[in-house]
Chains A and B, each alone.
Chain A
Amino acid sequence: MEKKIGCYICTGCGLGEALDLKALKAIATKEQKIPVVKDHALLCGAEGVGLIQKDLTDGVVNSVIIAACSHREKSAEFRFDIDLLERVDLRDKCLWLLDVKEGDETAEEDRQMMAEDYLRLGCVKMKKMNVPDPFLHSDGSKDVLVVGGGLAGLTAARDVAKAGYNAVLVEKSALLGGKLNDMLKVTPDNKPPYRDVAENFIGALVSEVEGDNRIKIFKNSVVTKTVGQPGQFDITIKNDTVSKELRVGSIVVTTGFTLYDPTKLPGSLGYGSSPDVVTSAEFERMAKAGQIVRKSDGQPAKRVAFALCAGQRDPAHLDYCSGACCIYSMKQAMYVIDQYGQDASTYLIYQEIRTPGQMEDFYRAAQDKGAVFIKGDVTQVGSNNKGGVAVKVNDHLIRNQETLDVDLLVLATGMISTVDTQDPNVPSPVGSARDELPGSVLNLQYRQGPSLPQLGTSAFPDSHFICFPYETRRTGIYVAGPARRPMGIAATMTDASGAALKAIQAVEAVARGVAVHPRSGDLSFPSYRPEGCTQCKRCTEECPFGAINEDDKGNPLFNPARCRRCSTCMGACPQKIISFANYSVDMISAMLKEVEIPEEDEEKPRILVFACTNDAVPALDMMGRLRSPISPYIRIIPLRCMGSLSLVWIADAMSKGFDGVLLMGCRHGDDYQCHNVRGSALAEIRLSKVSETLQRLKLESNRVKMVEVNIMDADTLPGVISDFVEQIGNLNPNPYKGF
């Protein structure tokens, strides 16, 4: 398709008064050779939009440059049915960011220069952009694989099917239902009445799933291999005898949890010292069998103590709270009271009672039934002369150390995810129990390994994002339920439904060839020039989403459907051979080269700012809205993500004559805010090598600086910028000016 570019300049919001329109139009037409250049006093108004639309309808134009306000404004007005649209921000980041006194000619001139540069950048970018040709495949699948047939898996499979998609449900054991099969009753969680234990509903759910012809069920089976990408995941399902291959579009992992190994608990909790010290899971099975008795002699267990946080919230064991144990233990205390009535004595020994939300009702109900709550610790467990268990309790609330004689001591051990996780930054996951985990649940054939990335030190394959809890580093793969994070029954069902939604959303996105969050709808994807590749593997190692595999020669093998379009690979490539149709190393180089660099004697330095489009650019827009002025010498070029930073750009900027380069990326480290996880961190690492480049050019290393910018930094950012401008001002002008 031949590009027919039209450039439309808005003179509203004071632009007309502040800027020399004729000069701007001259830049577009004469200098940049844009065939159609028009202006309007209110481009976002019906008339202005009509002006553009007419040119599009008449076929005079098929690609549009709008020189007006920030791309964050008026998006609805400027939504046209075209492939290429570029916004040049003359208002928010130029007019509103410059403090120009009436009649101050120098300042007015500086402002005009900035506007002209931004118009140039826009024109060059448009000329360099190509229409992305979406990644589509004919042999894709929209089926969803659900691994694990417990509560979460059943819920996910059912919800996928109800939405009109096919689900493949793989269950390791011989029957569906998972942990709930062992439960006598279930906690009410977020369904009223919150006071009462609820009937176990797993049977109904299992038959609903087994009766749904959209759900294909594999029992006694595991996934031994997962190859490919969303829309084209080829998985191998193996039961003891045969292996079977099939293709699915996306994956929900719901393999649930195992409980912390009670034999690893401190001896003071007495597990193993007596058959009458049991875990809550063991107690639940006893209750289900109608056998709330001493294991030792079969006598009725009317006096039962529950030790909460048996290993949880203890760095030596599990450094997290298991979320559901308080409520779960209250439920079990109710079993005892319901069975033995007036003769029952139940004690819950706790650190903090955690019954969030409406579950406070359940806490009150447990007390109302007569359960006694003791804030304190179990300091020692022995046997007593009555053939029961003697529990030494340190009661913090009445500062009292007493023995508690019971028939049973129940240890509420904590949940551990059954998902194998990995994190290059974290050597070994917490909780030694993880060593005994079975093999990988998906066994991903990914360059970056078979497992799912874990969250920090938690060993859970959970999301780092508060706002986007389903965003993980493996596109199209979603973990739900206690496999992702310790949680109770209602939370598990909610989580599974959410994951099911994300799974069908992913297959729909792939079918349309668009990206999912954070660059939802982006049609572009990376490609490379094989002849230029040196097999350095940086792209395959650095991709935050493990999207790139390697072929047998060590060349990158892109999986566009795994790709989130962050362009980290592009920045990682020392050969500059990775690019997107509408975003490339060459494009940014060309843009920065187009900036007018005044002669040295004009004493008008030029400072290039690379700003992350996610947080830094909005922060700059916010500065505009607050009218907090910055130096007229800076030129801002937005980047998709700092991860795309190519050192070539620094070199080009320097040889072009820029006096300094300031990079604005998102916070990295443990609490990183980079929407692409590693982008800004990787940029920082690359930058550490920039000094070589600068030395080669005989330039001071402090001409280049990277800063972390938070989206709400509009208050401090002006200072950051002026400090850098001042710092550059103290250096001699870049000697390469005018070369």
Chain B
Amino acid sequence: MADAHAAGQTILVVGGGISGLTTAIEAAETGYDVLLVEKAPHLGGRVAQHNKYFPKLCSPVCGLEINFQRIKGNPRIRYLTLAEVEEIRGSEGQYTVRIRKHPRFVTEACTGCGECAAACSVTVPDPFNFGMNQVKAIRNNHAMAFPSWYYMDPEYAKSDEAKKVAKSCPVGAIQPDMQASVIEEQVASIVWATGWKPYDAEKILPYGFGQYPNVTTNMRFERLASVYGPTAGKIVRPSDGKEAKNVAFIQCAGSRDHNYLPFCSRVCCLASMKQAAYVRDQYPDSKVTIFYIDLRAMDRYEAFLQKTRADANISWIKSKPARIEEDAQGNPVVIGENTLTGERYAMPFDLVVLATGMEPHSAVDAKVPANDATSDDYGFVTGGVLAAGCAAAPTDVASSVQSATAMAMKAIHAAVKKG
């Protein structure tokens, strides 16, 4: 029963993105103890990098803030950042997990005052903005980051300056010699919520990402459109900083393609419609072209498609472009066949955004470390542990939260069986 809480009834949630947060909070607010393990320095995951959500064009931080408040107010939730689950033994009801805690080099005593960052002279490409700008080697990812404690790059921690910077901390929270540690926990159930990473667009050779500066990706574009991103929200071309007023979006860049990701990533169509709105809102005289195979605005998201369709400055071309070339002015030229007219086109744009798909972390760098773990051909988790959100299938945020809430239910079943 929910009010009895024998030891070992804890629910382990792996991944602190929107799915993991949801599973953790919903289970805790139902009366269960939760251990939340996140690999990054802060909670929030992939959605924290998004500028806005479709279809409401609202900030993900709004919902994250509420969830963080719920975590702060709930003693049932323990969370670890910079931590990874290395090994899972046992089975549902009685798992033993080994967790490695990577050094943050900054303790929880940090007050977020920022003295250290001011004292730090070393900058690195900002991973939060996909390396599009430089940041200090000791920092937190953004002003709303939770937990708000700073963290230090391991490389920098080895430097002599790190030791000096440590002295600059008024509360002595910086420890450049901090070591990794390993802990073991007994848990009743495990929910894998490790989410997704953007598919590596450099692998999509015909589109020349990495070769042509003005070919970018949808996740980079999110940061480009964010006022807290590398360009303070100005939508410009990477090559020359020129305002990008003629922008193309190429759907299924890597998705629905046997050469890359054979499955459909589900959200990219809607994400591009959202990003089209970024462009149209910023430049009234802008033009947007969306190249697609099928427009996948499932169920009620259809309304968002119709809303986008109503904008005469957004044109739609049913076509998977064959390749991209670059003209003398550095404009990417998109080449292909319009399958509805049969015309062969070669259209230049200021900027081309590749709607790259979702690669599940569980397929690459967050495989479930259990002997009986199973996954499908694409690396989505199908068994051994419970899977929530994009660890189970490519889904939008609302569906991920539904999935995560459902997994809280399944996790509780295991805990109840144990109790």
Residue of A nearest to B226 (CB): A712
Output the least CB separation between A256 and chain B (Å): 15
Q: Does any Cβ of B come within 8 Å of A413's Cβ?
A: no
Q: How far is the CA of A465 from the CA of B62 in the complex (A)?
A: 11
Whether A191 and B29, one on each chain, are in contact in the complex, defined by CB atoms closer than 8 angstroms, is no
Query: How many residues of chain B are within 8 Å of chain A by beta carbon?
Result: 88
Q: Does any Cβ of A come within 8 Å of B143's Cβ?
A: yes
Given A359-B264, A498-B402, A322-B382 contact (CB < 8 Å): no
Q: Does any Cβ of A come within 8 Å of B238's Cβ?
A: no
Whether A320 and B405, one on each chain, are in contact in the complex, defined by CB atoms closer than 8 angstroms, is no
Whether B171 and A626, one on each chain, are in contact in the complex, defined by CB atoms closer than 8 angstroms, is no
Whether A45 and B394, one on each chain, are in contact in the complex, defined by CB atoms closer than 8 angstroms, is no
Instruction: Mark interface residues in A29-53 (1 if CB within 8 Å of B CB, else 0).
Output: 0000000000000101100000000
Q: How far is the CA of A72 from the CA of B416 in the complex (A)?
A: 34
Q: Which of A396, A498, A622, A667 contacts B409 (CB 8 A)?
A: A498
Q: Does any Cβ of A come within 8 Å of B98's Cβ?
A: no
Whether A13 and B262, one on each chain, are in contact in the complex, defined by CB atoms closer than 8 angstroms, is no
Contacts of A360 in B (CB 8 A): 256, 262-264
Q: Does any Cβ of B come within 8 Å of A491's Cβ?
A: yes
Output the least CB separation between A675 and chain B (Å): 7
Whether A354 and B296, one on each chain, are in contact in the complex, defined by CB atoms closer than 8 angstroms, is yes
Q: How far is the CA of A500 from the CA of B30 in the complex (A)?
A: 11
Residue of B nearest to A521 (CB): B73
Contacts of B407 in A (CB 8 A): 497
Most buried by A among B62, B114, B378, B409: B409
Q: How far is the CA of A36 from the CA of B45 in the complex (A)?
A: 43
Given A76-B72, A470-B405, A12-B62 contact (CB < 8 Å): no
Say which one of B53-61, B152-160, B328-336 lies at the interface with A.
Answer: B53-61
Whether A357 and B264, one on each chain, are in contact in the complex, defined by CB atoms closer than 8 angstroms, is yes
Whether A614 and B65, one on each chain, are in contact in the complex, defined by CB atoms closer than 8 angstroms, is yes
A-B contact count (CB 8 A): 239
Contacts of B380 in A (CB 8 A): 358
Whether B63 and A466, one on each chain, are in contact in the complex, defined by CB atoms closer than 8 angstroms, is yes
Q: Which of B265, B300, B341, B412 contacts A458 (CB 8 A)?
A: B300
Interface hits, A436-475 → B, CB 8 Å: 455-456, 458, 460, 462-463, 465-470
Residue of B nearest to A75 (CB): B72
Given A322-B299, A467-B401, A494-B406, A361-B263 contact (CB < 8 Å): yes
Given A354-B296, A455-B300, A673-B62, A469-B398 contact (CB < 8 Å): yes
Instruction: Mark interface residues in B357-398 (1 if CB within 8 Å of A CB, else 0).
Output: 000000000000000000011101010000000001111011
Contacts of B241 in A (CB 8 A): none
Say which one of A291-299, A502-510, A570-578, A632-640 lies at the interface with B.
Answer: A502-510
Contacts of A469 in B (CB 8 A): 398-399, 401-402
Whether A467 and B397, one on each chain, are in contact in the complex, defined by CB atoms closer than 8 angstroms, is yes
Say which one of B86-94, B105-113, B197-205, B213-221 lies at the interface with A.
Answer: B105-113
Given A357-B266, A360-B263, A508-B2, A625-B143 contact (CB < 8 Å): yes
Interface hits, A82-125 → B, CB 8 Å: none
Output the least CB separation between B280 and chain A (Å): 16
Q: Does any Cβ of B come within 8 Å of A164's Cβ?
A: yes
Q: Does any Cβ of B come within 8 Å of A313's Cβ?
A: yes
Q: Does any Cβ of A come within 8 Å of B8's Cβ?
A: no
Whether A12 and B171, one on each chain, are in contact in the complex, defined by CB atoms closer than 8 angstroms, is yes
Output the least CB separation between A94 and chain B (Å): 14
Chain A interface, DSSP helix/strand/loop, else mixed: loop
Q: Does any Cβ of A come within 8 Å of B231's Cβ?
A: no
Q: Which of A322, A352, A504 contacts B296 (CB 8 A)?
A: A352
Contacts of B57 in A (CB 8 A): 671
Contacts of B294 in A (CB 8 A): 352-354
Contacts of B409 in A (CB 8 A): 159, 163, 497-498, 500-501
Q: Does any Cβ of B come within 8 Å of A79's Cβ?
A: yes
Q: Does any Cβ of B come within 8 Å of A267's Cβ?
A: no
Q: How far is the CA of A72 from the CA of B200 in the complex (A)?
A: 37
Q: Which of A355, A470, A508 contacts B31 (CB 8 A)?
A: A508
Output the least CB separation between A323 and chain B (Å): 4
Given A356-B266, A622-B143, A520-B62 contact (CB < 8 Å): no
Interface hits, B282-325 → A, CB 8 Å: 294-303, 306
Whether B263 and A501, one on each chain, are in contact in the complex, defined by CB atoms closer than 8 angstroms, is no
Q: Does any Cβ of B come within 8 Å of A534's Cβ?
A: no
Q: Does any Cβ of B come within 8 Å of A530's Cβ?
A: no
Q: Does any Cβ of A come within 8 Å of B70's Cβ?
A: yes
Whether A462 and B300, one on each chain, are in contact in the complex, defined by CB atoms closer than 8 angstroms, is yes
- The 6 listed contacts between A and B (C-beta, < 8 Å) are A190-B392, A397-B339, A458-B300, A467-B62, A494-B406, A508-B30
Given contact pairs A321-B300, A498-B403, A715-B228, enumerate 7 new A-B contacts (beta carbons under 8 Å): A13-B111, A397-B339, A470-B405, A500-B409, A518-B66, A622-B143, A626-B143
Which residues of chain A have a CB within 8 Å of any CB of chain B?
12-14, 42, 44-45, 69, 72-76, 79, 159, 162-165, 190-192, 194, 313, 315, 319-323, 352-361, 396-397, 399, 455-456, 458, 460, 462-463, 465-470, 485-487, 491, 493-498, 500-502, 504-505, 508-509, 516-518, 520-521, 614-615, 618, 622, 625-626, 667, 671, 673, 675, 710-712, 714-715
List the 3 closest pairs (A to B, CB-CB), nearest first: A467-B63, A498-B405, A497-B406
Which residues of chain B have a CB within 8 Å of any CB of chain A?
1-2, 18, 26-27, 29-31, 53, 56-67, 69-70, 72-75, 108-109, 111-114, 143-144, 148, 170-171, 227-228, 232-233, 256, 262-266, 294-303, 306, 339-342, 376-378, 380, 382, 392-395, 397-399, 401-410, 412-413, 416
